Structure 1
Amino acid sequence: MNKDLRHRAWAEIDLQALQANLGVVRQHNQDAGITAVIKSNGYGHGMETVAQALVRAATEVERFAVATVDEAVALSTLGTGKRILLLQGFSDAEQARYLVESDLEFVIHADYQLTILKQVLRSHRPVRPLTVWLKLDTGMHRLGLTKSEFLEAYQQLMALTGVGRVIVMSHLACADDPEDFTAAANTVEQLQRFDKVLSDLPAIDSRQPGRSLAASAGILAWPDSHFDHLRPGIMLYGGSPLSNVTGLELGLQPVMTLRARLIAIKQVPAGESIGYGATYTCNRPTRIGVVSIGYGDGYPRSAPTGTPVLVATAGGYQRSCLLGRVSMDMITIDLEGLGDAEVGDEVLLWGESLSADEVARFAGTISYELFCQVTSRVSFIYD
């Protein structure tokens, strides 16, 4: 048993699992290009390290996608040799000039961006013809152009000197719940709208655009959405994009395992309550453990009594659960039946043998949020 007390809470990042999950993407489609989504600091796993590991993987990544200009700058500086896509595009002329001069790809999702791009291209020649992603709103109503706006923008883009290729994209709103009738109908309708616009494009320009619709949920559950470019995100990190199915059940390997330690063990009498708000009252004498992690480390405060954890005792991992509210620096867990648990034992919060998707369901959230909200107080160990 590792009783090294240097780390009070730490996240172990399994880069081989990351590479294996990239291989799962390829199993679902042998031909489409893969745009690995590593925004939000690689979904909380460390963007630079994630990018370098994916470059080394047996499955080839065509490009990386990020959300912000700062992320694009950092990734460009890293020098992976892969294309970089800025998913939200630029918001002003200064950002547009940087993207054009740096030979980065970007999304245009609004008319004002096309106006800015035209202005920039009048005075700035790109390193090579640009690849521009043009976003169609097929029903999510977040980012993207309406059909009429899209067709007009497409015509203008194809006529612009400096633009070499256009990739048509959209995003599915309900692909995560293929078993739900309403959600599935929504996805089918979005697919039909996407196909209809694609069928209108040859009348505008004979050149064939690229096509991209599938993120992780589309890759796993909607093969008709695959087209030319896949955009895997959460599945790379072992999390499930599908409702009521864990990443483990989908054949994905957990990349992040979050651990902390037992720092105290107490015996609480029957009738006494635990933690802030006295939300849990012991109905019997209860042996509890105090664990060195809390919402200040990114563990969700919304996690209720009953949220599972694994305690690494001398007899191996044993399942336990939270009792009472999550504090900033600590949680309390039930140690009844875990007689060999002792101070210094490791406690696994999610990852290896305990799916982050399961923990997220207890906490009323999704594994995406669990990964992204782990804070800098947590030590990261890469393997």
Structure 2
Amino acid sequence: MGASANSLINRPILASIHTQAFQHNLNRVRELAPESKIWAVIKARAYGHCFEAALNSLASTDGFALLDTQDAVWLREHGWQGRILLLEGLFHENELDLAKELHCDLVVHCEAQIDWLERYADKGHKPINVFLKMNTGMNRLGLKPTAYRIAYHRLHSARYRIHHMTHFANADHIDQQPTVSGQLEVFNQTIEGLEGPTSLANSAAILWHRNALGDWVRPGIMLYGASPTGLYADIEHAHLNAVMQLHSEIIDIQELQAGDRIGYGGRYQATEVMRIGIIACGYADGYPRHAKDGTPVWVSNGNDGVVCPIVGRVSMDVLTVDLRHAPEAKIGSVVELWGDRVPVDQVAQMSDTIGYELLCAVAPRVPVKII
């Protein structure tokens, strides 16, 4: 990258998306779930990484899972010929023709969607692949077990090809195996005797509950190199690689005396003479405004680099770091806000959120480069 995070723009901030990391993480999913097919989950613009990068990098997946038909249109228009799963099914009955034209698989999670599909079949349309979703305890989307078998038989009578699906509420709580096992038991008891493949595991179940994978797994956050729990230490054993690296530069340096305060509200007060680096990244770029003092930022320091702590409140366009451990850092020095050197989960933890939110929240004004 040289001395500049991006020499083609005026403001030196860049989100770089690394295709080899994407491919590596998908390969790790295959190693962890070798008997399962994979839905690569790319909702929310591929968790903020953009559809183009996901399509270029994850083309060896068995299918892409996303939220709405317009995203499915994008995939088809850009050459994807494999399977597409609409994770919340259809939002309106009039989308059925488009979903059929796009050859989408549909999640079915409520009675209204079953009604739509029955009427569609009555008009003589050929069947669609359906993932019938059971609410086994998440209490979000899905049919209660008492209604599930009736729903199955209604769709089966209408000649739909049915898969069985559920979602675990606590798979990201590593020590809550009984909770996952309880949902799995309800699921297995309910589908007993009913034909069809199964889809159970999200990233957390793939990582920690491999007795609950099913025929199709649905990895999301692990494909992007972040942790379902929000704690980076929890995924070190999985050897995942960060896909997004958010870089910027130091655009100014301030010399503070003991007692000087920094930024809005003067949250941080210098206890001695210190150098403060001003970095071109703020909450308008998607960096968390509530990042605490001590949040790590990697700063290039001569021929090396060092992690420096944020000091003072993050503002709209800049944040400030303590450079006492980076004596060779200067204006133009490259910094990494998150990526290989600073896991996004560590930044999220210092901001009372999760890595998912930070990755999805990178602002449109931040340029993206696919590498």
One-letter amino acid of the structure 2 residue matched with residue 119 of structure 1: R
Match of 2:184 in 1: 191
Match of 1:10 in 2: 14
Match of 2:174 in 1: 178
Match of 1:42 among 46, 51, 54: 46
Distance 1:302 1:356 in 2: 15
1:181-223 alpha-carbon deviations (Å, 9 max, x no partner): xx33322211111111122x44xxxxx2110110100111101
Match of 1:167 in 2: 163
Q: Are residue 134 (structure 1) and residue 132 (structure 2) matched?
A: yes
Offset, 1:124: 5.7
In 2, are the aligned partners of 1:52 and 1:80 still within 8 Å (CA)? no
Distance 1:169 1:368 in 2: 23
Match of 1:80 in 2: 80
Change (3 A) 1:92 1:124: farther
Offset, 1:250: 2.4
* TM-score of the aligned structures, taking structure 2 as reference length: 0.95
Offset, 1:237: 0.8
Match of 1:144 in 2: 142
One-letter amino acid of the structure 2 residue matched with residue 143 of structure 1: L
Match of 1:275 among 253, 263, 284: 263
Q: Are residue 371 (structure 1) and residue 359 (structure 2) matched?
A: yes
Change (3 A) 1:246 1:378: farther
Residues 331-370 of structure 1: matches in 2 within 5 Å? 331-370=319-358
Instruction: Give the match's secondary structure for 1:378.
Output: coil
1:362-382 alpha-carbon deviations (Å, 9 max, x no partner): 111111111100011111111
Paired residues, what number? 366
1:149-181 alpha-carbon deviations (Å, 9 max, x no partner): 1111101011104x2x211101111111112xx
Distance 2:114 2:76 in 1: 23
Distance 1:269 1:348 in 2: 27
Distance 1:171 1:124 in 2: 32
One-letter amino acid of the structure 1 residue matched with residue 227 of structure 2: S
Residues 44-83 of structure 1: matches in 2 within 5 Å? 44-55=48-59, 60-83=60-83
Offset, 1:122: 2.5
Distance 2:108 2:155 in 1: 10
Match of 1:256 in 2: 244
Change (3 A) 1:226 1:140: same
Distance 1:321 1:315 in 2: 20
Match of 2:105 in 1: 105
Residues 291-370 of structure 1: matches in 2 within 5 Å? 291-370=279-358
Calculate percent identity across the aligned residue pairs.
36
One-letter amino acid of the structure 2 residue matched with residue 195 of structure 1: N
Which is worse superposed, 351-360 or 71-80?
A: 71-80
Match of 1:233 in 2: 220
Match of 1:115 in 2: 115
One-letter amino acid of the structure 1 residue matched with residue 204 of structure 2: A
Distance 1:288 1:242 in 2: 33
Q: Which sections of structure 2, spanning at least 5 residues, go unmatched?
A: none
One-letter amino acid of the structure 2 residue matched with residue 166 of structure 1: I
Offset, 1:248: 4.2
Match of 2:198 in 1: 211
CA-based RMSD = 1.5
Offset, 1:101: 3.2
Distance 1:133 1:52 in 2: 26
Q: Which sections of structure 1, spanning at least 5 residues, go unmatched?
A: 203-207
Change (3 A) 1:246 1:351: farther
